[in-house]
Amino acid sequence: MFTYCPTCGTKLVPKAAGDDGEIPYCNQCERFWFPNFADCVIILVANAKHEIVLAKMPYLSERYESLISGYIKPGENVEQAATREVHEELGVSVDQLDYAGTYWLPQHQMMMHGYIALTTDQKLHLSDELGTASWVPVAAAPARMWPPSPENSALDIIQLYQANY
């Protein structure tokens, strides 16, 4: 929540904004400052053999693996961001991209936009961001990932993949 206007530095005051209730408002700029959060993508990358890519990002965990994820850049739509992240992190192309829901991560104030990316069995060319990444049979993936929790959207996307592909 903002206390001061990010544009001019004026102290914000609460002001009614319709059904949203009182929202911080800058009298100088005549602008509401609604809560901000990050928009990210999380992508399950799968091939025709029902293998998925699991990646280890050392800055997140030395133990657990996860799906591909990243921030949406200004000017991108979510589908462009998902396709870009897969190509940047794995060096593979996406043949089909299917929506897999949205997931709120409260501890990081992030909205994760989930996708399932279908591709051929391509060799992975890892970015420097990844410690490791490999094709894994989908049934074996959950044992290598973060434990189940209400915030673990990766496991929800795996279940969606298993039920529909």
Residues 30-49 pLDDT 10s: 999 998 899 999 999 999 99
Strand pairing category for 68-71 and 51-56: unpaired
CA angle 13–17–21, rounded 5-degree value:
85
Residues 109-161 pLDDT 10s: 899 999 999 999 889 999 999 999 999 999 999 999 988 887 889 999 999 99
Give pairs for 141-145: CB < 8 Å, separation 24+.
141/52, 141/54, 141/65, 144/54, 144/64, 144/65, 145/54, 145/64, 145/65, 145/66
Alpha carbons 32 and 24: distance in angstroms, whole number: 6
Alpha carbons 149 and 165: distance in angstroms, whole number: 24
